[in-house]
Structure 1
């Protein structure tokens, strides 16, 4: 038993004995499951065990995670012979394309059952009942490489060719020794058939899988666990490795409860008097059962501070692990990260605590604030090795798979939704969210696909006892009731059939029931915005040119990139200050987009005044409404559905300014009353089927339902203004309510959109994990889990969008477009795969080989030299564009 190897250094051929590696990993699990911490307490409550029982039993399972390495086939992979297998029957050669060592562990599962049954003192043992209860937990620990690996039936019989009789003898000895070390106490009800208990172990297996993965990662880290090939007693080694595991976990800060300062009052925390919504957040009654909070108010009304208040109070109430703040886009996430860092440092965490806060999205390594917080060398991407340092921020941040394990995370909602999809290592994400308060902002932006994934996340989080805070400005009544009813079903309270229709509104759903409270609007956020319509493209361009030359700042939000580029070229030629005309859309490289964001913030941000604001023209697409905390004097918007329009007008007179354009602390805006100019078709009470597509083909391609555009225009004509928050509910329900009347000629296209929505729901349901099935291949309808080569989709798209690295030539050699910024993602654009990417000029094979050899991280990303392509181009001023054909 002691001669089996578990880890080998391929360069030095030093090896670590398998029994020691198994105990290293078990020691990490033992320390993670500290009975005084929330993780162990919650798992114990879920399983109906004591914390001591829970800690010992799960650690026992984790210690057996690598039983597959006891097989003869695996041991003979070593070029030397620590195994000393001479005289034993040789099995078939190891074949990872057939079964890897994690799956081979199932060869010994029946041995484990027999041992546990033998140790149990009761005579009425039902092995089938025991198998039903512990199988999900062994599925979890055997799947410690991040994917379920369950093997049974004929496949298990075939697997016996990789093992010999001596392996079974040695495995039995090892199981006995681990039992002697840990003395697990299995409760009596684990030895009878109990479907309810079996379902509980299935549900908790996801968290056990996360513990197993995390324990194996850290237990394999040679910075803490040195290789040992000399024999010492397992009892002595168990004491030594527990000490090392405790050191590792303390230095990294793993699974450590966030030590939150006591919440005293909103005003003391944030330094100003609360609005009605914020006051509600500091006084609403909290309970220890799972709670759902929905905060509805206008943009800029202080929903973020209200959410942080609820979260802070929950931390004080039930010792939550921490919180995760999810937002819809990377840009909004970056902005929120700055705010949360300030709040975290000043008001939430004790200054002496070694606390971890991370930025969780796919481009976090390019965020300057985040990089400085972890001292991360983002220029080093020639190395393929993942480094794990003892500094807690760096450890959590060097892999997106681990990033949710930090006490506080700010990121895109996608990072949380990935925990509900069949992606390798998703159990780490689920473990990271376990015991946290989830705050999700702008949930009204979710389509039916994301909405269904969100419900699955709600199911899992509520079932584990977690609470959620949802923030919105334009959620429809139907959407809200759907979310409330879902949570009510999860926690087993009476289903609400009707809800309060006031605005602003705060709602809490918990074990007591569903309670909504109508709130007073903050007078500073009450606005009336006039509405005027422009129907001709030249009329819009002339209006922008005239106002810009008069000294106004003006923004025009267009619905497609191509339309924004066309307008930009027309307008720039005729304005007096051409250097203050800025084009902003989604087809810029990250570096150029960041520079444009900085420039827009300089001209139109909160700190700007008339010396900067005057003559500024921004031609933009939807990215403007999604990401920037700026305000404009004048706004034109292409016609769009009401919820999008409300988001857009949130950038019109967003900050209150005096006659010099400076932010006005007297709360009186000295500018003329705001007006949104809407570029739209001519109104038609009885529109034809092509009412929208005739002149607004791009708009229909983006928003698909002319009916919702028509309903938006109808209510705007009737009200002649957008009054917020007074008419917020009316504006949304007039477009998305169940009782709206759609013109007969627009109904067919709307039915098609609704059919697509149903398709999205079905697709989301099909790809989502069936949590109740436990950590197994059966938890996915298709049975297919995605490896690292593919990422599960958290967003629905009818288009395949591809990343392309924009390159140029210097001295004949291809280099990044932004060659001074060594990270390739600064030079990446995202374009439609079929429409653009596949038609771009491809580099020669030699160019490709040289480029990838120099920048290994770009191996699977398309590269494109824009200078040599006759059909497409790239400029920092314009972004990616289609070149005009020469006559």
Structure 2
């Protein structure tokens, strides 16, 4: 009565024995380490393991090869009918088949920890590595298999012995000792390798491995296939040698043309005595921070032996523009790897996306397929641009979030617009920076205006030293924790902005009339409002009074394709290229133009906001030196819309804390002229200082500070541990709370503390009926899952994100998207005579997709603040 290891199944369709799958997984792991991991990451990992690089590669192959050893167990093997028949014939039927699912990874953990590695000197390390392998399937429920059956135990020991000989080339087991400070970083890297190796070894590339793995050249063939997989998937590391001179990295900028920020950034690296872990670039708008940030990231990547970068921005709109700039930059240097765009809608523009989403036999296949899509593998590839949420999710309790850390560990991380993230997001970012430090991920932080408290908070992840106050400046922290500050004594933008307070906030007709008057003799004006509804009302008011110049409305509640078209039109009209700049124009917008969009206006009218955001907004005025201005507009003028003293802040007070809005008004009453750059740090510091507020407003400040503490504490519910406590999913695999799907509004709410949103689509009746016929009943609702790539594009281009609470849960005739349409709700629309689409919910609230205004809600809660 016996089984050969070739007869013990690991995969069944097609068949792959436990021996073949274990060998393949270990070989794939070694290929990943040799050809995907950057030299600096491998050096960090082998250093933590206290061994040479080659010995580390051998040991990693051994560790990964044992991840499925728990499948050699009676109750697990009995699942497959073919094996069940053989076991019945040999009298191996389990005595007590348990109704609770058997989780083979739990059996793996106990098998290695208590029996196979029982002789290793350091028992805590046996537990650590066993727990790590247990986490390669995350968030699963079930129990371990039977542990006392000598027949299966013998086979487990036989497999381990063969893997020991194969990969360690030794009769003796060796488990590397890890210092406590290294357990978090090494655990995250090793777990990432285990998961990827398992997925790749289970891919179609190795589907027929059982038929050829007995051949003499099988191992060489497996290496070849694994390398091919990495190359075809865009996961192979892409070494690049970057010059140290700024003008060589950015050939369009001459040595003599370097701006102060750029020159000081270059000198920082030329004079640095040790490697730099983090750089913070603070300077007014228009000082070339992006170019300096990319230069710094590439220099730090060279120092730390990394390849590539990830640029994280506040919104999808800013990501869309940045990816074009980075593509042009890499093409200029003839880089072989493209830049990936990474956010929830990015795949619409990614031609490498598969044309369909297949059916999956297992949940694991679904995750593997999703992670190796072009849109997702941006974090695993060499160069990518996307929303900062993609990086933030690496430190949330997200299923397979470790792969995000693993991908970031290969490159430099650039976080733009640091000032735009609230207290809740800042807590998540701080945890991310703690992990970046131990994983030796070089980080560049960019900000125009940063409150001192936030600056100290972010940099405290790297040093206990005090951070000097200096602005504009380049602040860096070395690997030993030393703080370096280079003050910028000359800025490109030295100007005085005139400020006028206008007590007409919430009065669309008066705003429109004033705006029309401002540009009656020409000029390009931006009216920036805090809510979509205010922007829509102001746009309608301008139309009603007959403004005859170029008039645009731009906010985030337009269908995706239309929003992209409006964004591109804004860039053409108000961007660096001046040939299409109109003589007279008004853009009515929300915060979508506040961050990273390179547009330039002659005049700015903005709703009151926290002072740092007001300063950020004025940076979109008089931005380019070569912009032709009307003769009567010679200096920048900022018109700040404030409420009448007798009126409340209304919806604006729901978007931003009222104490910060009131503080901005106090400051702007004192500073009727803002001198750039010297006034910026003073204004930002005072704008967030309760002691600078009048005594009667201290109560409001106290409420705000308490709310901030609550928000900061709330983020801790979803964070992995700090690195010093190890990589938390190793011990908390069953506490992982989220699917790693960008379409999950619940997950999005955990990177940005706010109300959950849902992506909806209104379709004409005939198209809705067409897709209804493709739907199927599932869990009491109609689900649409089988669509082509072209059909998915059609639907998603018409989609828009709205607050979930505005959608009635009992709406009939709703299609719920799955797979390519994950998280989308599709509604049938009635089309009116003007071509607008409308759907009436069962509570009487109408959802309207207006061709000019975007999405509106009628007879319901219209106090929207989504931007």
Category of TM-score, reference length = shorter chain:
0.7 to 0.9
Is residue 572 from structure 1 mapped to residue 546 from structure 2 by the alignment? no
With over 3 angstroms needed to count, the CA separation of the structure-2 counterparts of 1:309 and 1:148, relative to structure 1, is: farther
1:262·1:316 contact (CA, 8 Å) conserved in 2?
no
Task: Encode CA deviations 1:492-523: one digit per residue, 9 max, x unaligned.
Answer: xxx22x51333244444442611212113333
Q: Which residue of 1 aligns with 2:20?
A: 20
**Could you say what the CA RMSD is over the residues aligned between the two structures, in angstroms?**
3.4
Q: Which residue of 2 aligns with 1:878?
A: 853
The match for 1:826 among 797, 807, 814 is: 797
Aligned-partner Cα distance in 1 for 2:705–2:672: 29
Aligned-partner Cα distance in 1 for 2:644–2:452: 30
Aligned-residue offset at 1:141: 2.6
The match for 2:611 among 624, 637, 642 is: 642
Which has the larger displacement, 624-633 or 405-414? 624-633
- TM normalised by structure 2 equals 0.85
Is residue 227 from structure 1 mapped to residue 232 from structure 2 by the alignment? no
| 1:233-632 alignment runs, 5 A limit | 237-252=218-233, 254=235, 256=237, 258-266=239-247, 269-272=250-253, 273-284=257-268, 285-286=271-272, 289=275, 291-347=277-333, 351=334, 354-355=336-337, 357-367=339-349, 371-372=350-351, 374=352, 376=353, 380-381=355-356, 383-384=358-359, 398=373, 401-489=376-464, 495-496=465-466, 499-511=468-480, 513-523=482-492, 525-536=493-504, 537=507, 538-577=509-548, 580-608=550-578, 612-626=581-595, 628-632=597-601
With over 3 angstroms needed to count, the CA separation of the structure-2 counterparts of 1:518 and 1:813, relative to structure 1, is: same
2:416·2:445 contact (CA, 8 Å) conserved in 1?
yes
Q: Which residue of 2 aligns with 1:673?
A: 635
Q: Which residue of 2 aligns with 1:730?
A: 682
Is residue 700 from structure 1 mapped to residue 653 from structure 2 by the alignment? yes
Which has the larger displacement, 236-245 or 741-750? 236-245
Q: Which residue of 2 aligns with 1:122?
A: none
Q: Which residue of 2 aligns with 1:200?
A: 182
2:30·2:61 contact (CA, 8 Å) conserved in 1?
yes
Which has the larger displacement, 532-541 or 396-405? 396-405
Is residue 50 from structure 1 mapped to residue 52 from structure 2 by the alignment? yes
Aligned-residue offset at 1:354: 4.4
With over 3 angstroms needed to count, the CA separation of the structure-2 counterparts of 1:725 and 1:859, relative to structure 1, is: closer
Q: Which residue of 1 aligns with 2:152?
A: 167
Aligned-residue offset at 1:530: 0.6
Aligned-residue offset at 1:748: 2.1
Aligned-partner Cα distance in 2 for 1:780–1:670: 65
Aligned-partner Cα distance in 2 for 1:695–1:316: 53
| 1:791-806 alignment runs, 5 A limit | 792-793=747-748, 794-806=750-762
2:74·2:146 contact (CA, 8 Å) conserved in 1?
no
* SS of residue paired to 1:173: helix
With over 3 angstroms needed to count, the CA separation of the structure-2 counterparts of 1:229 and 1:288, relative to structure 1, is: farther
Task: Encode CA deviations 1:236-283: one digit per residue, 9 max, x unaligned.
Answer: 644542343344335545352522243344256333221121112222
* SS of residue paired to 2:461: helix
Aligned-partner Cα distance in 1 for 2:637–2:192: 53
With over 3 angstroms needed to count, the CA separation of the structure-2 counterparts of 1:263 and 1:565, relative to structure 1, is: same
Q: Which residue of 1 aligns with 2:40?
A: 38
Is residue 7 from structure 1 mapped to residue 11 from structure 2 by the alignment? yes
Aligned-residue offset at 1:614: 2.9
1:555·1:636 contact (CA, 8 Å) conserved in 2?
yes
Aligned-partner Cα distance in 2 for 1:22–1:480: 48
* SS of residue paired to 1:2: helix
Aligned-residue offset at 1:318: 3.6
2:277·2:441 contact (CA, 8 Å) conserved in 1?
yes
* SS of residue paired to 2:462: helix
Task: Encode CA deviations 1:257-312: one digit per residue, 9 max, x unaligned.
Answer: 52224334425633322112111222213455452111101112101111122222
Is residue 133 from structure 1 mapped to residue 125 from structure 2 by the alignment? yes
Q: Which residue of 2 aligns with 1:391?
A: none
2:113·2:130 contact (CA, 8 Å) conserved in 1?
no
Aligned-partner Cα distance in 2 for 1:205–1:232: 33
The 4+ residue runs of structure 1 with deviation greater than 6 A are: 92-96, 185-189, 394-397, 818-821
Task: Encode CA deviations 1:368-407: one digit per residue, 9 max, x unaligned.
Answer: xxx25x4x35xx34645699xxxxxx99861655331111
Is residue 783 from structure 1 mapped to residue 735 from structure 2 by the alignment? yes
* SS of residue paired to 1:697: coil
Q: Which residue of 1 aligns with 2:808?
A: 838
Q: Which residue of 1 aligns with 2:779?
A: none
- TM normalised by structure 1 equals 0.83
Aligned-partner Cα distance in 2 for 1:772–1:70: 34
Aligned-partner Cα distance in 2 for 1:185–1:38: 28
Aligned-residue offset at 1:164: 4.4
Q: Which residue of 1 aligns with 2:667?
A: 715
* SS of residue paired to 1:270: coil
* SS of residue paired to 1:501: coil
Aligned-partner Cα distance in 2 for 1:453–1:139: 25
Q: Which runs of 5+ in 1 are unaligned?
A: 118-124, 388-393, 490-494, 662-668, 684-690
* SS of residue paired to 2:463: helix
Task: Encode CA deviations 1:789-826: one digit per residue, 9 max, x unaligned.
Answer: 7664453334222222222213882669x998844221
Is residue 752 from structure 1 mapped to residue 700 from structure 2 by the alignment? no
Aligned-partner Cα distance in 1 for 2:679–2:361: 53
With over 3 angstroms needed to count, the CA separation of the structure-2 counterparts of 1:188 and 1:517, relative to structure 1, is: farther
With over 3 angstroms needed to count, the CA separation of the structure-2 counterparts of 1:800 and 1:655, relative to structure 1, is: same
| 1:847-886 alignment runs, 5 A limit | 848=814, 857-858=820-821, 860-866=823-829, 867-869=838-840, 871-872=845-846, 873-883=848-858
* SS of residue paired to 1:466: coil
2:282·2:472 contact (CA, 8 Å) conserved in 1?
yes
